[in-house]
Homo-oligomer: A and B are copies of this chain.
Amino acid sequence: MALIDQLIEALRVLPGVGPKSAQRMAYHVLERERVGGKRLAEVLAQAVRDIRHCARCRDFTETEICAICASASRDAHLLCAVESPADRLAIEQATGYRGLYFILQGKLSPLDGIGPRELGLDQLDNRMGEGEIQELIIATNPTVEGEATAHYLAQLARRHNVRPSRLAHGVPLGGELEYVDRGTLSHAFGTRSEML
């Protein structure tokens, strides 16, 4: 197969990229963005080789411990649990939150075989057992599975005398946290309520 056809095919690994847009991307890069294309190839190769999960929070990182977990200026009494790295990023960009995170990399979904172990909850359990965390801010998505996960996390927190809280209403029901506008997300974060 000609190299350009191989490139068009390889681009389809990207989400939302069909045959037509893969073709447009390939031609665009070859016609106008060779330097940027070379850079993308290098960074992508390095990323798929080196990026793993942070040993502490399970976020993506190329180091053993990610920059946030390693930072001395974050408040270690606060831990915020989110479903995905994208949600972590949305909160970090929208709010003034200075605590730490725990990325579940999913939500409880027994039918798909995703239980506490798959979400690293044994790790979260151990961590809350260390005694430093005072509040677990549960920022799972307001979906059925997200709610179930939230209640499970709240129970886990209470067992360690950690105060569980949830983001305030404001996040649209059934919506994805990642796509909520910054203002709404910031407000919801600020008015989070304790889970009783």
- State whether A50 touches B7 (Cβ < 8 A): no
- Given known contacts A13-B37, A14-B25, A30-B48, is B43 in contact with A3 (CB within 8 Å)? yes
Stretch touching chain B among A81-89, A130-138, A152-160, A186-194:
A81-89
How near does chain B come to A92, taking the closest CB pair, in angstroms?
A: 12
Flag if B62 contacts A2 (CB, 8 Å): yes
A1-22 vs B, CB cutoff 8 Å, 1 = contact: the mask equals 0111011001101111000010
- The answer to whether the Cβ of A64 comes within 8 Å of any Cβ in the partner chain is no
Q: How many monomers of this chain does the complex have?
A: 2
Q: Judge whether A114 is part of the interface by a CB distance below 8 angstroms.
A: no
Size bracket, chain A contacts: 35 or more
**Bound complex: CA A21 to CA B44 (Å):** 16
- Is A36 part of the contact surface with B, judged by Cβ < 8 Å? yes
Given A2-B66, A27-B84, 5 new contacts (CB under 8 A): A3-B43, A3-B46, A6-B43, A14-B14, A23-B86
Which residues of A are in contact with B by a Cβ distance under 8 Å? 2-4, 6-7, 10-11, 13-16, 21, 23-31, 33-34, 36-51, 60-62, 66-67, 84-86, 89, 105
